[in-house]
Amino acid sequence: MIPPVASQFVAGTTEAEALEHARQLREQGIHTICNVLGEHYHEPAAASGDVERYRRLCRDVAGTDLGACISVKPSQIGLGIDEATFRENLGAIVETARDGGVFVWIDMEDRTTTDATLDAFERFVTEYPEMGVCVQANLRRTEEDLQRLAGLPGTVRLVKGAYDEPKRVAYTDRTAVDEQYRTHLKYLFSESSAGAVAVGSHDPRMIQRAIELHDAYGTEFEIQMLMGVREDAQAELVEEYDVYQYVPYGDKWLSYFSRRVMERRENLTFALRAILNR
């Protein structure tokens, strides 16, 4: 049983609860990105279990009008074991998703997973373009990564980055990260070979910048926010733009809830507002 405070940010422990939340969002015009909670598995059985959960979710979402897609973490489906296991498991999920026409997102984790994540995305998106991958504006390598991704099908989600990375590989000053986010946004919108852009941010300034870039370049884009964070803004934005809510569920809710509200000062502020306004 998830306590009321955590239920602001986690849809429940079961797929049925997540899909019911997706139905409620769909009535508002908001799309759903479903994530089965779990990460950093080092045993094949644990990874295989979540792979099967994702495949079942794909089958259950396929053919519905929920406007739902899925998002997987590499360390959840085998990268903590080895890269071959990760690719094999991702391939199984993508195969099931392709059968049902379900969009697949690959989340980005800490810097040690970036190369394997992008390699796997490149491997599968050329065969199944209904895929997206996340990149983090705080990493110093992101400009180069975006240039690589620009020539591929699929969608790129740009986030600021929540992992505590060392200065040698990441910008750690908030102002510098914001500047990098704006720079990368402009590249994504202006690069002629880029596909759709997913703006993964709760920052009103970044969302406004994305809208301005969309008006200037005409590039398709969507806005992605977390469940329980700035839901009033999500309801307003969906009147004019495509809005997706990231909806996690599962019995591993406690670590997700704790990390999300503590990882960045602004997330904590949004969480407190959500709780107080409940």
The residues carrying an active-site annotation are: 107, 157
* CA–CA gap between residue 44 and residue 268 (Å, rounded): 34
* CA–CA gap between residue 64 and residue 138 (Å, rounded): 37
Amino acid found at 172: T
Residue indicated by tokens 């740009």: 158
C-alpha count within 13 angstroms, C-beta hemisphere, residue 131: 27
